[in-house]
Copies of this chain bind each other. A is one copy, B any other.
Amino acid sequence: MNYSVIVNKGGNKDKVLKAADNKNLLELLGEHNYSLDTYCGGMGKCGKCKVQVVKGADNITSQEKKLLTGKEIKEGIRLACLLKITGDMEINLQLKDEIVALTSGLKQKGEFNPEYRKKNITFEEPDLEDQRSFLTRLYDLISVSDINIDLLKKLDNVNKKKPLNIIYDDTKIIDIQKENNHDLYGLAIDIGTTTVVLYLLNLNTGKTEDSYSLPNPQQKFGADVISRINYTIDNPRGIEKMQSVIINSLNNAIDKLIKGNDLNHEDIYMSTIVGNTIMLHFFMGINAESIANSPFTPLFTELLEFKAKELGLKINKNGLIQILPSISGYIGADIVADMLAVNLNNMNDEINLLVDIGTNGEMVLSTGENIYTCSTAAGPAFEGANIAHGVAGIPGAISSFEIKEDGKIHLETIKDKRPEGICGSGLLDIVAEFYDKNIIKAGGGFIKNENLPEIHRQKMTTYNDLKAYCIVDAEHTVSGEEIVITQKDIREVQLAKGAIQAGIKILKNKIGIENKDIDNIYLAGGFGNYLNPRSACILGMLPRQLENKITQIGNGAGTGARICLKDKKAKLYIENLIDRVEYIELSERKDFQAEFMSSMKFGR
């Protein structure tokens, strides 16, 4: 028996899906590329995959009753992962996939000299004096010496009296086009754990003509890399599924870029891919299990290059997929691209600190000569996970927070929408302001109610039996419930802050420098770019004395990937970078444990 499921989005009917009896709703939505928040991987634990059922729900489960508020239940909110389809349905999706992703970046360095070029050629008429084969003539015209079997057959079949477009690199012919006046295009793709960003570059001009971002659809298998790896271990063909959802979503995104820019898929001849090591394994359909367990050995970290048709990415089938190299299981190609974006390949006497904060925190400390790097679990707190009212960077997320002189709260939300929750930068601001305004202690605990000024004391409340502070009262929120920060939320920030600060300390110790020796701090990553550096400095996550040396570089990974698309020499720069990098594994270092413990305190 097949049922119809009407899916509304933003108040409009978006699609009608067909579903078999007893089909899981989250699975159905996933198969049609609707991406819901599922930090627990669809296990019915995180309570994030909310949908509003307008018509046709089965009976609510006891687990949903635990995870949803009475008001939500009354409004027909259900958890998609726990809902089985037993009849025709109509649902409203919340616009969670409108995540505001970082598509801007540093002004790109590097020359414009792409690996693939396009040339319009016409064969001279052969004569007895010049019996060179057509292939020899082609090689001579564009100075290459290699062709594949399919293109040789293509050359056999084209009219050699008419002009041809030849796509080629330094050594070989990439494609032969009969008629096509479009420019050559490339895609730089940054596959983040949470967000994926695509940049469309014109490789005739070097200009970035468009970009597109989408949530990583693998989130339905788990919010963080470890739960995704577990999914691939626990589920038959799990790795194939993990690969196909990302490839499918990328192909949908490519469709949209193509359509919006009046291009054909065949016009895109290159794609440079960055991401963390695990995302790259998944993208390739390669198991990442060995990265999850000590000693965290990846299958590959090298630069990989393939034909697009080998991976099923919808660009020209002869196009190149270039996967940038990683350094270790937890320092991926995204960080390598960051390094390229901030020019660490240009050796000089400066000491540069690069911090990429997303789901993980990766730190890079570079002297002129050597580069040291390490990775810590920053925790998904800043992505909204494990935080009572945490949300991703969606419209309505509290992204900035300040307590004025008079004790009144001033906050900003993304797109000025009615508050819906707290995203990472808001969370950091809140905790920094709490610490700065003596609402919490250096140890993280709330100041006793009786010692708080009246204006704050009246905000103190409880949430699920936890001490909490009310950030927005119920009547001003989307849900009609208070948005609070709990004592546990503050502990989560503490853990993340401690890990990052301790990682930086280990790197400084390795080189034997102090904070004052650092010339520049670059912040990258989904969270690193949105946080308020002042807040990070107040809490001690970054050195307070260096606040004015901090630059937020936007999507450094995307910038690095674009540099690689535009300049074939970038591969050499990266090789040079990687040769100089030493990776420091923190997980079993006693000095890291000690630094971590002492870095948990705020303000130092």
Q: A residues within 8 Å of B by Cβ? A: 126-136, 139, 145-149, 152-153, 155-156, 284-287, 290, 294-302, 304-306, 310-311, 326, 328-329, 583, 585, 587-588
Contact = CB atoms under 8 A, between A and B. Distances in A.
Contact of A298 (B133, B284, B290, B585): B133
B131 A328 contact: yes
A561 B578 CA distance: 42
9 contacts: A127-B295, A128-B294, A128-B587, A131-B297, A131-B298, A148-B310, A149-B304, A152-B284, A156-B287
A6 to B, nearest CB: 40
Copies of this protein in the complex: 2
Contacts of A129: 585
A149 B311 contact: yes
Contacts of A305: 146
Given A295-B127, A302-B145, A587-B128, A285 B133 contact: no
Contacts of A136: 300-302
Given A129-B585, A134-B299, A147-B304, 14 more contacts: A128-B294, A130-B295, A131-B295, A131-B296, A131-B297, A133-B297, A134-B300, A135-B302, A136-B300, A145-B302, A146-B305, A148-B310, A152-B286, A153-B286
A133 B296 contact: no
Given A133-B299, A155-B299, A306 B128 contact: no
A328 B133 CA distance: 7
A279 to B, nearest CB: 15
A133 B301 contact: yes
Nearest to A297: B126
* Residue of A129, A301, A311 with highest tally of chain B CB at under 10 A: A301
Contacts of A139: 302
A136 B326 CA distance: 11
Nearest to A589: B128
Shortest beta-carbon contacts, A-B, top 10: A135-B300, A126-B297, A133-B301, A133-B298, A128-B295, A156-B286, A149-B310, A131-B328, A126-B295, A127-B295
B131 A583 contact: yes
A153 B311 CA distance: 12
Contacts of A152: 284, 286, 299-300, 304
A332 to B, nearest CB: 12
A133 B302 contact: yes
Contacts of A298: 131, 133-134
Nearest to A296: B131
A594 B160 CA distance: 35
Contacts of A587: 128
A121 to B, nearest CB: 16
A299 B131 contact: no
A321 B134 CA distance: 21
A594 to B, nearest CB: 18
Nearest to A311: B149
A135 B311 CA distance: 19
Contacts of A296: 128, 131
A294 to B, nearest CB: 6
* Residue of A298, A310, A583, A588 with highest tally of chain B CB at under 10 A: A298
Nearest to A305: B146
A583 B299 CA distance: 52
A293 to B, nearest CB: 11
Contacts of A134: 290, 297-300
A416 to B, nearest CB: 46
A129 B153 CA distance: 51
Nearest to A328: B131
A587 B129 CA distance: 11
A143 to B, nearest CB: 14
A153 B306 CA distance: 13
A113 B585 CA distance: 42
Contacts of A302: 133, 135-136, 139, 145, 147
Contacts of A146: 305
A588 B156 CA distance: 27
A156 B240 CA distance: 13
* Residue of A153, A299, A583 with highest tally of chain B CB at under 10 A: A299
Nearest to A287: B156
A585 B128 contact: yes
A149 B126 CA distance: 40
Given A135-B299, A136-B302, A299-B133, A285 B128 contact: no
A296 B134 CA distance: 11
Contacts of A284: 149, 152-153
Given A128-B295, A128-B587, A149 B301 contact: no
Contacts of A585: 128-129, 131
